[in-house]
A and B are shown apart, each in its own frame.
Chain A
Amino acid sequence: MRIMAQVAMVMNLDKCIGCHTCTVTCKQVWTNRPGTEYVYFNNVETKPGVGYPKRYEDQSQWHGGWTLDRKGRLQLKAGSRLRRLLSVFYNPDLPSIDDYGDPWTYDYQTLINAPAGTRNPSAHSISALTGRDMDVKWGSNWDDDLAGGPDHAAGDPDLAGLSDQVKLAFEQVFMFYLPRICEHCLNPSCVAFCPSGAMYKREEDGIVLVDQDRCRGWRFCVSGCPYKKVYFNHRTGKAEKCTLCFPRIEAGQPTICSETCVGRLCYLGLVLYDADKVLTAAATPDPRDLYEAQLSVFLDPDDPGIQAEATRQGIPADWIDAARRSPVHALIARHRVALPLHPEYRTLPMVWYIPPLSPVTDIVHAAGYDDDTPDQIFAAIEALRIPAEYLANLFTAGDPGPVQRVLRTLTAVRAQMRAEQLGQDVPERLAESVGATRTDLADLYRLLAIAKYDERYVIPPAHAEDAGRLMAQHEQLFCAQPGGPDSFHPPAAQEFRDDGGRLHLNLSPQGQS
């Protein structure tokens, strides 16, 4: 067993109002530069909708992520390594800028410089790629709030497999928002695609990053990421991606998208997982079993055996403690209300979503029923093909079972808390019917509804002194040894942990306190 820690995220989609504040603050912090005009480390999509870039979820077109070969072994969807190296001169799976939308700005100067007496001047759109006048034809969020629904929403790859009748009824029935950042996968296909070895997953916190100095612009990561969250900077010729705001995470602060989220729908925390099980889980034969397979990779931080083993493998005590308090682990593994986005890509994504209940309640309400009655909601969840099947295409590779279970649990939380707060009798067997206890539902209510800042974001600061360890050892080797090179014997590493679990390194063998 190889225990690793991962900073993971959960978003509660019921709370997303589609305000794009996360997108705007992310853009201001990270991609407010020429070359990254079209780059959104964080974006919010309306579902149903084609997404950004267009139809990115359709892997039969883009060949992102992993697949199983005929013998059931895990391999990259775009084929063998040799085949990809031979196509390095032209990547057949790379989206063009028109799939994102030609980035543009406006010629604001004409508003100021137009001669007096002319008709009202207007600022024409100019392309950020060429500086020439252009007509805007597509861009991010072009289909926001189902704009152009009949034309665009039908292109949503998640509608595949739903009957035409369901599709037609679809956009009249509901929509919801899907905020997306990089998934910081446990089995990241972008890293596996990178020919230069410039992309890597950090050992300490699992954040996936691009080494800008080693990237050579071969652009396979862009097509290899099934979520299309690696972008090509057209000015520098290098790949860039969501960093999970690692400077903030290292300081124990939430990412800028979470920090500024108006609906406070983001949860950040640690998940402990067994790195030895990752590839087995990713190679699960039936895509519908991938959700359960990924759950089996996670470790229970409350298990004393796991804690002891994690300590032995060098995970600091304060990190283990943070993993125990992690809201993400609670939502994913304890309450099991969060689901992974497109597990069928086999990358084991680590940004999970609580599916929205509001589409169901909207339908029930529109039918003239009381949307507070759990029985009617339960019946609706069972009876409605939408949204359960659509949500299943997003979160469970098409298996509506887990989605229905989560929606029932969310309904039960509402029913129980409503009854408690109005002084009514809590329906018997309500919690039992969703496989939980009354305490579980109360916990879930607290986590979903009233959790404060430090409960939503449980992020242990990085141990900077670990990074300095190597340098300290160098100093020991070359500077601090009496007697010169002949009598030189490197001392055994003298590491010890203090009460807080922080790793220390004494610079002289006698210095251990």
Chain B
Amino acid sequence: MSNTSAWQIFVWVALPYLALGIFVVGHIWRWRYDQFGWTSRSTQLQERRLLKWGSPIFHYGTFGAIAGHVIGVLIPERWTRAIGIPESVYRWFSASAGTLAAVLIIAGVVILAGRRLVVPRVRATTSPVDYITLVLLLVIILTGVVPTIFVNLLGHGYDYRTTVAPWFRGLFSGSPDVTAIASAPIVYQVHAASAWLIWAIWPFSRLVHAWSAPLWYLWRPYIVYRSREATPPAEPGTSGRRWRKIGVPY
């Protein structure tokens, strides 16, 4: 650790833990005090032609990318070797499946971001935190797609499972390998750092809708009955955002 600078310690150790802390505490706070603001914030009412293509493509591509990260980063390389998958096969699978997901995500995000910026009705619904989230997402996607396509698919390949992945898993075992990630190419570093930033933004953005994926719907009875309940009035300052006042200018 003697050859690591303070900056490296900050980016590869402090920032991840800080982001994780904000992620956890922020979600608890938001869940308790802003149920009313917890929504997917759909803009399909305003615009539907672009959303029809952009939204499903983006979301399904993202599911592919998440699955890829679980396989590539959370599962150690020695496990896949142990069950007899050599690095070349892994790389081939990672590059092709990753490229498919990357193409979907890129197509989706181009449609969605373009729609958000160009269609006035959608742009009017965009809050500052949406723009921050969008910029971070674009950085993450670009720095994730470039190595997948240009290094792993078309280039000579780079085995991130010997640098990025051990550092990442080390964060959760309490001994992050800073030198490993510090020696990775810059594009992987930007990808990892901005990913941590978005965890910190997550609880305050519309991304919280991801935790509300309504899988329970598949099992619950169709008609929901509820009895009237006695609800004590909320304490001042804890009731979250409510209906806006009458007369707010457009």
Partner of A216, one of B48, B121, B214: B214
Residues of B within 8 A of A118 (CB): none
Cβ-defined contact, B48 with A96, below 8 A: yes
Cβ-defined contact, A82 with B218, below 8 A: yes
Residue A35 is within 8 A (CB to CB) of chain B in the complex:
yes
Residues 451-467 (chain A) with a chain B CB within 8 angstroms: 462, 466-467
Closest residue of B by beta carbon distance from A82 = B218
Cβ-defined contact, B121 with A129, below 8 A: yes
Partner of B120, one of A130, A194, A195: A130
Closest residue of A by beta carbon distance from B48 = A96
Chain B nearest CB, measured from A52 CB (Å): 15
Residue B42 is within 8 A (CB to CB) of chain A in the complex:
yes
Residue B7 is within 8 A (CB to CB) of chain A in the complex:
no
A180 to B215, CA, bound (A): 34
With known contacts A34-B248, A217-B39, A234–B230 Cβ distance under 8 A: no
Q: Contact mask A113-146 → B, CB, 8 Å, 1/0? A: 0000000000000111111100000000000000
Cβ-defined contact, A94 with B48, below 8 A: yes
Residue B246 is within 8 A (CB to CB) of chain A in the complex:
yes
Residues of B within 8 A of A95 (CB): 45
With known contacts A89-B56, A90-B51, A217-B39, A235–B244 Cβ distance under 8 A: yes
Closest residue of B by beta carbon distance from A197 = B224
Chain B nearest CB, measured from A422 CB (Å): 51
Residue B162 is within 8 A (CB to CB) of chain A in the complex:
no
Residues of A within 8 A of B55 (CB): 89-90
A232 to B43, CA, bound (A): 10
A243 to B12, CA, bound (A): 52
Cβ-defined contact, A200 with B209, below 8 A: no
With known contacts A34-B250, A85-B214, A199-B224, A237–B40 Cβ distance under 8 A: yes
Residues of A within 8 A of B216 (CB): 197
Residue B156 is within 8 A (CB to CB) of chain A in the complex:
no
Partner of B222, one of A32, A191, A196, A202: A191
Chain A nearest CB, measured from B218 CB (Å): 5
Residue B124 is within 8 A (CB to CB) of chain A in the complex:
yes
Partner of B39, one of A35, A91, A238: A238
Cβ-defined contact, B246 with A203, below 8 A: no
Cβ-defined contact, A213 with B35, below 8 A: yes
Closest residue of B by beta carbon distance from A87 = B56
- Chain B residues touching A, range: 35 or more
Residues of B within 8 A of A404 (CB): none
Residues of B within 8 A of A191 (CB): 222-224
Chain A nearest CB, measured from B144 CB (Å): 20
Residue B38 is within 8 A (CB to CB) of chain A in the complex:
yes
Residues of B within 8 A of A466 (CB): 228
Identify whether the interface residues of A are mostly helix, strand, loop, or mixed.
loop
Q: Which of B44, B215, B226, B229 has the most CB of A within 10 A?
A: B44
Chain A nearest CB, measured from B113 CB (Å): 16
Residue A215 is within 8 A (CB to CB) of chain B in the complex:
yes
Q: Contact mask B139-157 → A, CB, 8 Å, 1/0? A: 0000000000000000000
Q: Contact mask B112-148 → A, CB, 8 Å, 1/0? A: 0000000011011100000000000000000000000
Cβ-defined contact, B214 with A462, below 8 A: no
Q: Contact mask B20-38 → A, CB, 8 Å, 1/0? A: 0000000000000001101
Closest residue of B by beta carbon distance from A36 = B243
Partner of B217, one of A33, A90, A195, A462: A195
Cβ-defined contact, B52 with A90, below 8 A: yes
Residues of A within 8 A of B250 (CB): 34, 105, 126, 128, 131
B interface residues (Cβ-Cβ under 8 A, vs A): 35-36, 38-48, 51-52, 55-56, 58-60, 120-121, 123-125, 209, 212, 214-218, 220, 222-230, 243-244, 246, 248, 250
Q: List 21 A-B contacts (CB under 8 A).
A: A88-B214, A90-B44, A91-B44, A126-B250, A127-B121, A130-B123, A191-B224, A197-B216, A201-B225, A202-B227, A213-B35, A216-B39, A217-B39, A219-B44, A219-B45, A232-B42, A234-B43, A235-B244, A237-B41, A462-B228, A467-B229
In addition to A34-B244, A238-B36, A470-B229, 11 A-B residue pairs with Cβ atoms within 8 Å of each other are A34-B250, A96-B45, A97-B46, A127-B121, A131-B250, A195-B217, A196-B214, A203-B228, A235-B125, A237-B42, A470-B230
| 7 shortest interchain CB distances as A-B pairs | A195-B214, A213-B35, A192-B222, A217-B39, A237-B41, A237-B39, A200-B226
